[in-house]
Amino acid sequence: MQDIQVLPGTVQTAAPGLLGFDLNTPVSFAQAQQFKTNGYDFCVRYLSRNIGQVAPNLTNAEAIDILNAGLALTAVQHVSNPGWAPTADLGTTYGANAALNAASVGLPGGINIWCDLEGVASNTPSATVIQYCHAWYTAVFNAGYIPGLYVGYNTCLTATQLYDLPFQHYWRSNSKVPDIPTRGYQLVQNSQTVDNTTGLQIDPDKTQNDNLGGAVLWLSA
């Protein structure tokens, strides 16, 4: 197995009001520096559903560049194509792969790794989605990471069902999605845009403390 360079930085709790972005495009050191200059504080990059990080997913070298430029870092796993059918077994597989890929990048335990929940087949029973989420959570948590949930469109779950999941970290997409009762969101996504200085297409995001005082956990330089 190829040796993975340890990523610089420490696991930290995100302060509220910080601006960042998520994107499915590799970020160079120069681009990361430019984002930092432009007032961004963090970056969210993607992990594969399968074992192994293939472009354009996050790599160890890219993660080092992002951190060395002064941006904090966390990661989200790609969701399947719209109309996909979740199962408990799939949750276990995808969760385990998310953790393995995070480790292969050099991401330390204790940070949020995010489950992207959206585009579920409309006829999917809520109980099946819940089983998938529980299985994904367990696989990631058992690997030492702190699972988070990105709530996108068409999850087939109500607000209460989302809150009753084991997650304690929620990320609100730019889609029309329910509020999370009692807890709320820690990360809020805004409309997709093209950054003028880097030319990269990004989704801007902003941190906040949720109603219970919780916040995003990430790797910070």
Asked, for residue 112, whether it belongs to a domain, the answer is: yes
| Domain assignment of residue 168, given as a range | 10-220
Residue 55: the pLDDT is 86
2 pLDDT more than 80: no
Residue 87 located in a structural domain: yes
- State residue 200's pLDDT score: 97
In angstroms, rounded to a whole number, what is the distance separating the alpha carbons of residues 28 and 20? 16
Kindly report, residue by residue over 180-217, the tens digit of the pLDDT: 999 999 999 999 999 999 999 999 999 999 999 999 99
Interval 15-73: pLDDT, tens = 999 999 999 999 999 999 999 999 999 999 999 999 988 889 999 999 999 999 999 99
Question: Tokens for 181?
Answer: 């009762």
Strand 146-151 and strand 19-22: the pairing is unpaired
DSSP 3-state assignment of 128? helix
CATH of the domain at 126: 3.20.20.80
DSSP letter at 54 equals: -
Domain count, the chain: 1
The residues that bridge with 22 in the sheet, in sequence order, are: 44, 203
Residue 80 burial class via C-beta count within 10 angstroms: exposed 0-12, middle 13-18, buried 19 and up = middle
pLDDT for position 1: 42
Q: Quick check: is 133 in a domain?
A: yes
Q: Is the pLDDT of residue 177 over 90?
A: yes
Say what the pTM is: 0.97
